[in-house]
Amino acid sequence: MGASENKQLLQDIFAELARGNSEPLVTSMADDFRWTVAGTTNWSRTYEGKQAVLTELFAALRERIAGRLKTIAHRFIAEGDFVVVEARGNNTTRSGAPYNNTYCFVFRVADGRLKEVTEYMDTRLVNTVFAAEPV
* Domain span including residue 84: 3-131
Average pLDDT over residues 118-124: 96
- pTM of this structure: 0.94
Three-class SS of residue 69? coil
Identify whether the C-beta of residue 36 lies closer than 8 Å to the C-beta of residue 46: yes
Average pLDDT over residues 107-128: 96
Return mean pLDDT, the chain: 94
What is d(CA 2, CA 85) in angstroms, rounded to the nearest whole number? 17
Three-class SS of residue 109? strand
CATH label of the domain that carries residue 111: 3.10.450.50
Average pLDDT over residues 81-100: 95
pLDDT > 60? residue 23? yes
Residue 135's pLDDT is 44
CB atoms within 10 A of CB 133: 15
Three-class SS of residue 132? coil
Average pLDDT over residues 80-85: 98
How confident is residue 69, by pLDDT bands cut at 50, 70 and 90?
Answer: very high
Number of domains the chain is built from: 1
Residue 130's pLDDT is 84
Q: Which helix (H) or strand (E) segment is 124 a member of?
A: helix 123-131
pLDDT > 70? residue 76? yes
How confident is residue 133, by pLDDT bands cut at 50, 70 and 90?
Answer: low
